[in-house]
C-alpha cells in the first residue's frame, strides 16, 4: 500500500478538514462498473445504490468537492458499511475503498456531528477502555466471573427479556469463558540451569531455530482469550520458533480507525511502533486478522507524520499473520485420531485486506485425518465487523444466518477461522441455527492436532 501514498501537503480537497484526507487519485479511480455490487453485504440485503461501494464513493467525492455536507443521511450511509473490503478484492480498477471510507468516518468525527449518546459511548469505550490494558482486564474479568457463576441462572430465568436490546446483547457473549493471557516467564539458558543443579547432564539435542518472533497480544485478545494466545505460542514453538511477548503492548487501534477516531488511533500506533522496534525481530506475529491488517497499514494512518511514516513502513515489513509463518510446511505429527471434516471461514481482513487465502488452507490440509471441505461463499462477511453486530444487529443477524447455512451444508464437524470477531460471531450463529459442530481458531485446530499425537 505504501507505494501509492501521496504526501499530505500535495492534497487539496476543500470538503475535508482532517489532517490526512484521501488523495484525488483514489477518489477518481472508481469507474462505476458495478462489479462490486453483488459482493457488498449491505447492497445485497437492501438493493440500494447508497448502500453500495460505488454509491458511498460518490457521496465521499461529493463531500471532498464541497458539494455534500456531513449530515444525518451521510452518516447513515457511511456508518452502515461493514468495511469488509470484499469490494476491493473484485475491483478491476484497484480502488482503495477502505481508505476512502475511513477518511469519511474521520471527517464525521472531526465535525462533531454525533449524538450526545454516541459521543459518550465512543469516549467510554474507545478512549477510556481499550487504550488501557488494566481497565480492560477488569471488564473482561468481571464478564468471565459472570459467565462462570450467574450466566446459566440468568439465561434460564428468562429475565433478560425484560431488558430489551440490552438483554439481546447478552447473547453475543462467547460460550468460551474469558480468561486473561499471562505470558510465561522467559526460560533460563540451559547452561545456567545446569550450573544451578550442579549435576553433569547430557546437553539437549540442538533444534534448528526458524527465527525469533514477537507475539502481538492486542487488547481484547489479551484480556479475555488466553487459550488462543497459549495455543499460538505452543504451535510456534512446536515449529521451532523462539517466541517472545514484549511487555507494555496496547490496542492495535483497528476499532478506532474503523470508527473514525484517527487522533487516538495515531497515538496508539506510534506507541506500538516504538515498543516493537526497540528490538530486531524475524517477525512480529499476529493471530487476529483485523489487528494484523491494521498493523500492516500503520503507514497509511501516519501518512502526515514524516518521521513515523517511515518507521511504520519498517514496522509493517515485520508483521506476519501466524498462518504466513507456518505455511507451506508445518512440523510433522499433527493429526486427529480419526477422520474429521473441517471447513474454513475466510476472515474479511485476512482474505480481502491482507490477501491471505492459501496459507490457512495449506495448514489445514497438512493435518493428518483432516478433510477440508470448502464452504460456499467462504469469503463473505459473517456480520461481526468489529462492533457492527452490536450497532446494526438486523443486518448482522442476516449475514451470520446465511453463513451458518453455508457452514451446515458442508456437513463439517469443525469450522475454522483466523479472527476473534469471526469466531465469536460464528459461535453466536451456531446457537441461532442449532448447529452441533465446533468453532475453532486456526491455531486451536493445529494445537489440538499436535496434542493428540504428542510433541515432535
pLDDT in tens, 165-176: 677 778 888 788
What pLDDT, in 10s, does the model give residues 110-152?
998 888 888 888 888 889 999 999 999 999 999 889 888 988 8
C-beta atoms surrounding 120 within 10 Å: 11
Look at residues 283, 348, 352 and name the one whose alpha carbon lies nearest to residue 321. 283
Which pLDDT does position 11 carry in this prediction? 55
Look at residues 294, 340, 349 and name the one whose alpha carbon lies nearest to residue 316. 294
Which pLDDT does position 307 carry in this prediction? 92
* Statement: residue 200 has pLDDT above 50: no
Query: Which of 206-220, 226-240, 347-361 shows the lowest mean pLDDT across its residues?
Result: 206-220
Q: Name the E strands within 280-392.
A: 283-286, 319-321, 335-344, 368-372
Q: Cβ distance 396 to 389 under 8 Å?
A: yes
Which pLDDT does position 454 carry in this prediction? 59
**What whole-number percentage of the chain has pLDDT above 90?**
72
- Provide Rg for the chain, Cα atoms: 23
What does the alpha-carbon distance between residue 55 and residue 94 come to, in Å, rounded to a whole number?
Answer: 16
pTM of the model: 0.89
* Statement: residue 373 has pLDDT above 50: yes
Look at residues 229, 135, 139 and name the one whose alpha carbon lies nearest to residue 181. 229
C-beta atoms surrounding 246 within 10 Å: 17
Strand, coil or helix: what is 110? helix
Identify the structural domains of the chain with CATH numbers, from first to last: 2-114 (1.10.1060.10), 335-453 (3.40.50.1860)
- 391 — pLDDT class (breaks 50, 70, 90): confident
Which pLDDT does position 172 carry in this prediction? 80
* Statement: residue 228 has pLDDT above 60: yes
Strand, coil or helix: what is 346? coil
What pLDDT, in 10s, does the model give residues 172-197?
887 888 899 998 776 655 444 444 44
What pLDDT, in 10s, does the model give residues 419-434?
999 999 999 999 999 9
Task: Tell me the three cell numbers of residue 299.
Answer: 503507514
Which pLDDT does position 101 carry in this prediction? 97
- 1 — pLDDT class (breaks 50, 70, 90): very low
Amino acid at each position: 500500500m505504501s507505494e501509492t501514498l501521496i504526501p499530505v501537503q500535495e492534497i487539496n480537497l476543500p470538503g475535508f478538514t482532517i489532517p490526512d484526507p484521501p488523495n484525488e487519485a483514489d477518489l477518481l479511480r472508481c469507474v462505476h462498473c458495478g462489479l462490486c455490487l453483488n459482493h457488498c453485504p449491505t447492497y445485497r440485503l437492501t438493493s440500494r445504490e447508497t448502500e453500495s461501494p460505488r454509491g458511498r464513493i460518490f457521496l465521499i467525492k461529493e463531500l471532498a468537492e464541497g458539494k455534500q455536507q456531513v449530515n444525518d443521511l451521510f452518516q447513515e450511509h457511511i456508518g452502515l458499511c461493514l468495511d469488509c473490503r470484499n469490494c476491493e478484492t473484485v475491483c478491476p480498477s484497484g480502488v482503495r475503498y477502505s481508505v476512502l471510507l475511513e477518511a469519511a468516518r474521520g471527517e464525521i468525527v472531526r465535525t462533531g456531528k454525533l449524538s450526545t449518546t454516541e459521543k459518550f459511548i465512543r469516549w467510554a469505550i474507545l478512549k477510556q477502555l481499550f487504550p488501557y490494558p488494566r481497565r480492560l482486564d477488569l471488564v473482561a474479568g468481571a464478564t468471565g466471573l459472570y459467565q462462570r457463576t450467574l450466566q446459566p441462572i440468568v439465561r434460564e430465568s428468562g429475565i433478560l427479556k425484560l431488558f430489551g436490546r440490552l438483554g439481546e446483547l447478552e447473547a453475543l457473549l462467547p460460550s468460551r469463558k474469558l480468561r486473561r493471557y499471562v505470558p510465561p516467564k522467559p526460560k533460563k539458558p540451559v547452561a545456567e540451569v545446569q550450573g544451578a543443579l550442579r549435576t553433569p547432564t547430557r546437553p539437549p539435542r540442538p533444534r534448528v531455530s526458524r527465527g525469533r518472533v514477537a507475539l502481538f497480544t492486542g487488547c481484547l485478545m489479551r484480556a479475555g482469550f488466553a487459550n488462543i494466545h497459549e495455543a499460538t505460542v505452543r504451535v510456534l514453538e512446536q515449529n521451532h520458533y523462539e517466541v517472545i511477548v514484549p511487555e507494555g503492548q496496547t490496542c492495535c487501534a483497528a476499532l478506532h480507525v474503523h470508527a473514525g477516531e484517527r487522533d487516538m488511533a495515531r497515538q496508539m500506533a506510534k506507541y506500538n511502533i516504538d515498543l516493537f522496534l526497540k528490538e530486531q525481530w524475524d517477525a512480529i506475529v499476529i493471530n487476529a486478522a483485523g489487528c494484523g491488517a491494521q498493523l500492516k497499514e500503520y503507514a497509511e494512518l501516519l501518512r502526515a507524520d514524516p518521521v513515523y511514516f517511515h518507521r511504520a513502513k519498517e514496522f509493517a515489513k515485520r508483521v506476519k499473520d501466524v498462518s504466513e509463518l507456518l505455511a507451506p510446511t508445518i512440523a510433522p505429527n499433527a493429526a486427529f485420531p480419526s477422520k474429521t471434516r473441517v471447513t474454513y471461514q475466510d476472515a474479511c481482513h485476512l482474505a480481502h485486506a491482507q490477501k491471505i487465502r492459501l496459507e490457512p488452507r495449506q495448514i489445514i490440509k497438512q493435518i493428518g485425518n483432516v478433510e477440508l471441505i470448502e464452504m460456499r461463499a467462504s469469503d463473505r462477511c459473517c456480520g461481526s465487523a468489529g462492533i457492527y453486530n452490536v450497532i446494526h444487529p438486523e443486518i448482522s443477524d442476516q449475514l451470520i444466518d446465511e453463513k451458518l447455512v453455508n457452514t451446515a451444508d458442508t456437513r463439517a464437524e469443525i469450522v475454522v477461522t483466523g479472527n476473534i470477531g469471526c469466531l465469536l460471531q460464528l459461535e453466536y450463529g451456531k446457537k441461532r441455527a442449532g448447529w452441533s459442530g465446533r468453532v475453532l481458531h486456526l491455531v486451536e485446530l493445529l494445537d489440538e492436532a499436535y496434542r493428540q499425537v504428542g510433541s515432535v
